[in-house]
Amino acid sequence: MAGRKETISDKEILIILRSATDPVLTTSEVAEETGFSLNGIRKRLYSLEEKGLVNEKKAGNSPVWWITEDGIDFIDEE
């Protein structure tokens, strides 16, 4: 079956943020990298923020996201 993956792990999302050439990514950029909808990836990013694995800040009308030290540790411990 073609198309986006059914699921994506927290680790996969964090790896996208960590490997980005820019220090922050917009929700749209993360959605594009994952193949998920804006709403779907937004919910996941806010969930990761609640866990302390990413940070978010408004840049104009859009949030931008970056991985935290705890997020990097989460990737490295597995």
Query: Is residue 56 in a domain?
Result: yes
Structure tokens at 60: 């104009």
Question: Would you say residue 1 has pLDDT above 50?
Answer: no
Q: What is the CATH number of the domain that holds 67?
A: 1.10.10.10
Split into its structural domains, the chain has a count of 1
On whether residue 4 sits in a domain, the answer given is: no
Number of C-beta neighbours around residue 8 at 10 A: 17
Domain interval for residue 49: 10-77
Structure tokens that stand for 7 in this block: 């699921």
Question: How large is the average pLDDT for residues 57-61?
Answer: 91
pLDDT in tens, 20-36: 999 999 999 999 999 99
In a domain, 5, yes or no: no
Burial class (CB in 10 A: 0-12, 13-18, 19+), 10: middle
Q: What pLDDT does residue 78 have? A: 62
Helix (H, G, I), strand (E, B) or coil at 31: helix
Inside any domain, residue 3: no
Domain-embedded: residue 32: yes
Q: Is 2 domain-assigned?
A: no
